[in-house]
Amino acid sequence: FTPKLLAGKKIMITAGSTMEMLDPVRGITNLSSGKMGFALAQMAMRMGAETTLVYGHTHAPRPLVSHAHFAATADDMYHTVMQHIAAQDVFFGVAAVADYKPNMRSSQKIKKSEDILTIDLIKNKDILADVASLPNPPYCVGFAAETEQVIEYAKQKRLAKRLPMIVANQVMTAMGNDNNQVTIIDSKGEHTLDTDLKTNIAFKLLTHLKTQLDLD
Ligand code: C5P
């Protein structure tokens, strides 16, 4: 039995990774299994929230949610999120959004000729930071996957993106696994959760979120 703590809440979650295409068959991506975002979406449903999933590339089985939108690239994800954000109470940025996109996309497959091929990259817009700086933003939660100085970098990201809450995790622990070990950082400080299945981590995160929403 899962308590319907989030009944009446609208929650949007991004998950998976975006792929920035160079040509019809090649692209640049960030690795992400999509499992943490999908676990959160499934748990948000079970806890009674109207849940919108904006998902990129992933091989994980997609949970049944209220609304689901596929977004292939960072630009697609940005526009899909912005189209539906006004109605949301909460926004979780769990997707591994590619930081850069090629400045040109060839409509035909690029031929192998040069020994060194140079690609100019353009920085993608930061979806989470832009949602958090909307005039009337939803409660925004970020994820920071780091290989070193996990807590320190997560704290910096929380401030830089102006987020009430960020969830820090080790890349090596989180990536592709069914388990995760996270630290929640919010205005109250740090809360480290025990290593657990992503489903259970999702429940604990959403329960913690509920206490923060009640304080607002
Ligand atoms: O800065 P960094 O990419 O490490 O921050 C990670 C957080 O920001 C995640 O919550 C991710 O979903 C979000 N993000 C985003 N748009 C980007 C880059 C990251 O929403 N272009």
- Residue-wise pLDDT tens digits, 52-104: 999 999 999 999 999 999 999 999 999 999 999 999 999 999 999 999 999 99
Q: Mean pLDDT throughout 106-125? A: 93
CATH number, position 185: 3.40.50.10300
Q: What is the mean pLDDT of residues 113-120?
A: 91
Give domain status of residue 33, yes or no: yes
Q: Is residue 21 part of a domain?
A: yes
- Does some domain include residue 2? no
Instruction: Kindly state if the Cβ of 143 falls inside 6 Å of ligand 1.
Output: yes
Domain of residue 26 covers 10-103+116-209
ipTM of the complex: 0.96
Q: What pLDDT score does 174 carry?
A: 84
95 CB under 6 A from ligand 1? yes
Q: Is the dihedral of CA 82, 94, 96, 163 positive or negative?
A: positive
Q: Please indicate, yes or no, if residue 166 is contained in any of the structural domains.
A: yes
Domain count, the chain: 1
Residue 165 or residue 171, greater confidence: 165
What's residue 175's pLDDT?
85
pLDDT of residue 216 exceeding 80, the answer is no
The answer as to whether 198 is a domain residue is yes
In-domain check, residue 195: yes
**Is 4 contained in some domain?**
no
Scanning the chain, the segments in alpha helix (DSSP H) are: 35-46, 74-84, 127-132, 150-160, 171-174, 198-215
Find the mean pLDDT for residues 11-21.
Answer: 98
pTM given for the model? 0.96
Among protein residues, the one with the nearest Cα to ligand 1's atom 6 is 144
